[in-house]
Structure 1
C-alpha cells in the first residue's frame, strides 16, 4: 500500500487533475479501508502541506478529510481528527463545523471515543468540539452517549461553558429543527424565513394605545447579532410599553404606528403583513437565523450555538429574566402572544433573509419587536 501511495503522491506534482485519486479513495472506503485514505491524506500533507487555499493540493487534502469525517466508521472519526478536521475549515468556527458534520454522519456510540481519555479520537478533539457535539446530537434527536455525560460532569471547561445552559433533549417547542445536511459530496440546507405560519391579522384602521415607555434588552438580538455590521445587514429591536392593553386585532395598526426604522416609509397597510403565530414558529425562525442565516458558511454559528442563540432571543422576546432556566423560559414563552410580520419597505432587503417577530406580554401592555435583514448581494 505504501508504494501505491508514494506513487500517487509523486504523480500529483504539477498535476491539477485529482478525480482519479478521489475515485480510488472512495473505492477503499467502500471496502472499509479508512486506513488507506488517512495515509494518503497524510502523505499529501507531508509532501505539499495543506496547499495554498484554492489550489488543487489544498482541495484534495480537504476532500480526503471530508470523506473520512462523513464515512460511517469508528476509525474514520479518529483519522479525521488526527489529520486536523477540527482545525482546518473554510469557516471561522472550525470546531463547530466539525461537530455538526460528525453528528450528522456518525453514531453516538462511535462518537463516544471523542469523550474518553486514552481513546484514539480523544487527544485530537478540542473541548469546544466536545461541547458542540453534545447539542449537535441533541438537535438530531440522538441521545449523547454516557461518556459525554461523564465528561460534562467532570469537565471544568463544560461547567463554565454557555452551552451547559441548554437541556440535553429537545423540548416540544423546538420540534424537529431544520438542519444542514452533510454527505460525501458536500452539504446543503433550506431557507426558513419569510412570514411564519399563522392567521393573518386584519389591517383595518383601529385605535391604538399610547406608548408610555421604550426599552431595550440586548439579548433580543442574540440570534441575529452576526447579521449586523455586514455590508447588507441591519437589525432592529425594542420593547414598547403601552398605557393600555393592545387588542390582537389592533396589532397591525399598532406596529405601523411605532417609530421603527424597519417600517419607515410604509406606503400603505397592504405593505405590512402580520400573522398570529406560535412560539414554535418563532423558535424555528430564530434557530435558522442563528445557525445558518445571514451570510455564507464562513460566518455560520452552526447547530449547537445556534440553538443557544435562538433560546436567548426567544427568552428576551418573552420577557424572561436573564438568569431563567430553560424550563422557566419555556413556561414564560407559553404565556405570551406571538406574531410574525413582513414589510415591504426600503429597510428590508426583501431577499432570502428577512425576519420580523413581535410578542405581547400576558397583560398585553409590553410589545417586543425584533427585525433583521441581510442578503449576499453587492
Structure 2
C-alpha cells in the first residue's frame, strides 16, 4: 500500500488536473477507508511540502484534511490533527477554525482522543483543546461530562490562566441557541441578524435641545467594543461606544427617544434636527447577546474577521459585561443576573455614519437604577 501511494504521489509532479485522483479518494472515503486518505495526505506533504507552489497538490491535501475532519470518528480526529489541522499563523485563526469544524462534526466522545494522553494529544496544541471546550458548549454538547476534558482542565497550566476559562462549560439561558455556521466541503453557510428586534418602536420625540447638565459622559470602558473590535480595523468599519450618567433617574420609555437623539454621539450627529430619522425599539438582553455574538464570531463583512465561536462567545460576554456596568472579569452568571435587571433597546438612524448595508447595529442599555446609559454602535460593509 505504501509503495502504491508513493507512486501515486510521485506521478502528480507537474500535473494540473487531478480529477482522477479526487475520484479515487472519494471511493476510499465512501468505503470508510480514511486511513488511506490520511496516508496520501502525509505522502503529499512529504513530497511537495505545504508551500504555495504546486496549487493542485495543496488542493488535494486540503481536500483530504477537510474530509477527515468532517467524517465522524475518533481515528479521523487523530488523523486530522496529525496532518496539521491546527497548525497555522501566529494569529491562531486556524486553530479556532479547526475547533469550530471539529465540534460541528465530531461527537464529544470522539473528541476525547485530543484530551487523553497519547499521540493525538501530543499533536494537538492546548489552544485547540481550550477552543473545543467552548465550541462544544455553544452546540449544547456535554463537554463538562467528558472525563478526559475535565482531567485536562484540572491539570493544564495553560487552562488555569486562559481567558476562555472564564466562560461556563454549558450555555446560559440568556444565550438561547446561538447561530453557528454549518461547515461542508464547499465552505461555510451562515447567517447573522443585525438591525432591530421585532417590536413596536418607541414614540418619536420632538427636536430637543442639547443634553441637560444633569447628563454627563462617564469614563470610557474599552471592553464595550470587545465584540466589534475587528470591525473598527477595517476600511468600511466604524465603531462608537459611550457611557452617560444621569443626575436623575430616567422617567420611563417615552423619555428614551428624545434623550438618545440629544446625546453627543457621532452615529447620531445629524439626528437631533430630524428625530423621525431615529428608530428605537425595546429589546432584551438575549437579543443583545445574540447580536454581539454574531458580530464577534463572524466578524463584519469578511470571513478574515471571524473569531469563530469560542472567542466570539468571550467577546460577546465582555461587551455585555460593560453594557450592564459590571467590572471586567465579573463571573458570567452574575453578569446575566444584572442584564435581566436592565432595560434594553436597539436603534437605527438614517444618516451618514451607518453604511446601511445590513451590517449595522446599535444598542442602548439602561441599568436598573436608571441613572446609567451605555451605547454601542457598529457598522461594516463587505466592499462589494
Q: TM-score range by the shorter chain?
A: over 0.9
Aligned residue in 2 for 1:237: 241
- Aligned residue for 2:77? 77
C-alpha deviations, 1:66-102, integer Å up to 9, x for none? 1111111211111110110101489851111110010
Structure 1 residue 54 displacement after superposition:
8.5
Tell me the SS of whatever aligns to 2:179. coil
For residues 296 and 84 of structure 1, the distance between their equivalents in structure 2, rounded to whole angstroms, comes to 25
Q: Of 305, 318, 328, which aligns to 2:311?
A: 305
Name the SS of the counterpart of 1:235 in structure 2: strand
Secondary structure at 1:231 match in 2? coil
Instruction: Quote the offset at 1:39 in angstroms.
Output: 0.7
Deviation for aligned residue 1:136? 0.4
Aligned partner of residue 233 in structure 2, secondary structure? coil
| Cross-structure match for 2:258 | 253
The answer as to whether partners of 2:207 and 2:275 remain within 8 angstroms in 1 is no
TM-superposed CA distance for 1:270, in Å, is 3.1
1:63: Cα distance to partner?
Answer: 1.5
Partner of 1:359 in structure 2?
365
Q: Is the 8 A contact 2:343 2:365 kept in 1?
A: yes
Contact map agreement 1:199 1:276 (CA 8 A) in 2: yes
| Counterparts of 1:196 and 1:77, CA distance in 2 | 40
**Unpaired runs of at least 5, structure 2:** none
Conserved in 1, the CA contact under 8 Å of 2:179 and 2:192?
Answer: no
Whether 2:283 is the aligned partner of 1:277: answer yes
Q: Distance in 1 between matches of 2:133 and 2:265?
A: 39
Distance 2:268 2:92 in 1: 33
* Shift in CA distance, 5/91, structure 1 to aligned 2, threshold 3 Å: farther
For residues 164 and 152 of structure 1, the distance between their equivalents in structure 2, rounded to whole angstroms, comes to: 9
Counterpart of 2:226 (choices 222, 225, 229) is 222
The more displaced of 181-190 and 221-230 is: 181-190
CA distance in 2, matches of 1:375, 1:169: 33
RMSD of the alignment, in Å?
Answer: 2.0
Question: Residue in 1 aligned with 2:97?
Answer: 97
2:19 matched to 1:14? no
Q: Measure, in 2, the Cα distance between the counterparts of 1:274 and 1:181.
A: 32
Contact 1:245 1:365 (8 Å CA) reproduced: yes
Matching of residue 212 in structure 1 with residue 224 in structure 2: no
3-state SS, counterpart of residue 344 of structure 2: strand
Query: 2:294 and 2:233 mapped to 1: Cα distance?
Result: 19
Aligned residue number for residue 291 of structure 1: 297
- Shift of the 231–194 alpha-carbon distance from structure 1 to 2, 3 Å rule, reads same
Report the alpha carbon displacement of residue 5 of structure 1 after superposing the two structures with TM. 2.1
Distance 1:271 1:134, change over 3 A: same
Compute the displacement of 1:2 (Å): 2.9
Task: Answer whether contact 1:93 1:299 (CA < 8 A) is retained.
Answer: no
Moved more, 27-36 or 168-177: 27-36
What SS class does the counterpart of residue 191 from structure 2 fall into? coil
Contact 1:69–1:76 (CA<8 Å) still a contact in 2? yes
Q: Secondary structure at the match of 2:177?
A: coil
Shifted more, 362-371 versus 258-267: the winner is 258-267
Name the CA shift for 1:146/1:201 in 2 (closer, same or farther; >3 Å).
Answer: same
2:127 maps to 128
Residue pairs, 1:1-378, within 5 angstroms: 1-52=1-52, 55-88=55-88, 93-118=93-118, 120-144=119-143, 145-205=146-206, 210-246=214-250, 247-266=252-271, 268-377=274-383
> In the comparison of the two structures, how many residue pairs are matched?
377
In structure 1, list runs of 5 or more residues that go unmatched.
none
Listed one character per residue, the Cα deviations across residues 210-267 of structure 1 (whole Å, up to 9, x for unaligned) are: 4134332111011111111211111100001122222212211211111100111236
Partner of 1:117, secondary structure, is coil
The two structures have a TM-score, normalised by structure 2, of 0.93
CA distance in 2, matches of 1:237, 1:95: 30
- Report the Cα distance in structure 1 between the residues aligned to 2:155 and 2:29, rounded to whole angstroms: 36
CA distance in 2, matches of 1:184, 1:91: 24
| CA distance in structure 2 between the partners assigned to 1:292 and 1:49 by the alignment | 31
Q: Equivalent residue of 2:120, what SS?
A: coil
- Partner SS, residue 110 of structure 2: helix
Supply the distance in 2 between the matched residues of 1:58 and 1:64 (Cα, whole angstroms): 10
Shift of 1:367: 1.0
